[in-house]
Amino acid sequence: MIKKKIEDGQLLEHLNGLPEDCRQVFLLADGQIRLTGLSGTTLVNQMRANHSLGVVETLVLGQAYIASGLMASSVKGNDRIQLAVECGGPIGGIYTEAWACGAVRGYLKNNPIELKKPLEGRNLDDLFGPGFITVSRILEGSKTPFTGQVMMEYGDLARDLAMYYLKSEQTPTMFSLGVHFDNSGRVTGAGGLFIQAMPGCSEEVLQTLQDKSAALPSVGLAMSKGQDIKDYCTEVFADFGVQHLSKEVLGFSCPCNKKNYAVFLHGLPKEEKDAILKDNRWPLELSCFNCGSTYSFSEEEIREIF
């Protein structure tokens, strides 16, 4: 993977002053609730740089990166979570993937997203339109992924993912996905929460948590002010008795590299290799959908590979 440089000096200074991106897992109410908190400001900014995204595109894909990073807290080892949104609105589709180790990657089907009118507020319903959410767990050593799918009802990724878990896994769930922009359109804070009821959770605890969740402080704004996600969760949910379980570093990462693309080129059918040579346009450039990295091959390199 090739990480593109973030050119904005003021933004870089801000990012350098923030705590590291990470995902932290907690238990609340004597183990009745599982809470995952994520800080991902650098993650979202690197995603934006690599995919050359505008404000709206950064908001849409940034929320999906945060959601995927949160959901990957439910798998272990080399397991990973894939999130796919197929929709009829201008977004078209979102495809992300997150590993248990904290790596996240993914892309938008349509970049840029064509807007008929300027986006008002954070309501993305018109941009999604009718669609489906598909979540797949890919477990190491398993031949087939464990996949579930629901129709989108809200046009809001956080609410629709909560509905997915309720319908597919019968688990009361809440997501909070925050991407905070300053007045210049910079992402100065990004983070999220993933709250799930554990088996045997009482109705009283669920109701109290639901009331609490309706007025949560903005996690994106909190991250923009330099608050650590552990401190945020500990303070906000102090009444529930917070028990810290684990922490993983989080980052924008993709396993692609030039060597893998060379192997792909070597395996092309002869007619496709001949067409590339006949076209005679150098360098040959191949781009990774998932991370936006572009790998260049000179004519000499291509002839050696072929």
Distance, in Å, from the CA atom of 39 to the CA atom of 189, rounded to the nearest integer, reads: 8
Q: What is the mean pLDDT of residues 190-218?
A: 95
Domain over 9-252 is classified CATH 3.40.50.2000: no
The bridge status of strand 131-138 relative to strand 103-108 is unpaired
Hey, what are 142's tokens? 């398993």
Q: Do domains 9-252 and 258-305 have the same CATH topology?
A: no
Return the closest-CA partner of residue 53 out of 232, 302, 299, 291: 291
Domain over 258-305 is classified CATH 3.30.1450: no
What is the reported pLDDT for 143?
A: 84
Give residue-wise pLDDT tens across range 102-117. 999 999 999 999 998 8
What is the reported pLDDT for 191?
A: 98
What is the reported pLDDT for 111?
A: 97
Give the predicted TM-score (pTM) of the model: 0.96
Q: What is the DSSP string of 155-213?
A: S-HHHHHHHHHHHHH---EEEEEEEEE-TTS-EEEEEEEEEEEPTT--HHHHHHHHHHH
Q: What is the mean pLDDT of residues 36-49?
A: 98
Give residue-wise pLDDT tens across range 113-155. 999 888 877 789 999 999 999 999 999 888 899 999 999 999 9
What is the reported pLDDT for 123?
A: 85
Sequence spans of domains, the chain? 9-252, 258-305
Mean residue pLDDT across the chain = 96
More confident residue, 143 or 66: 66
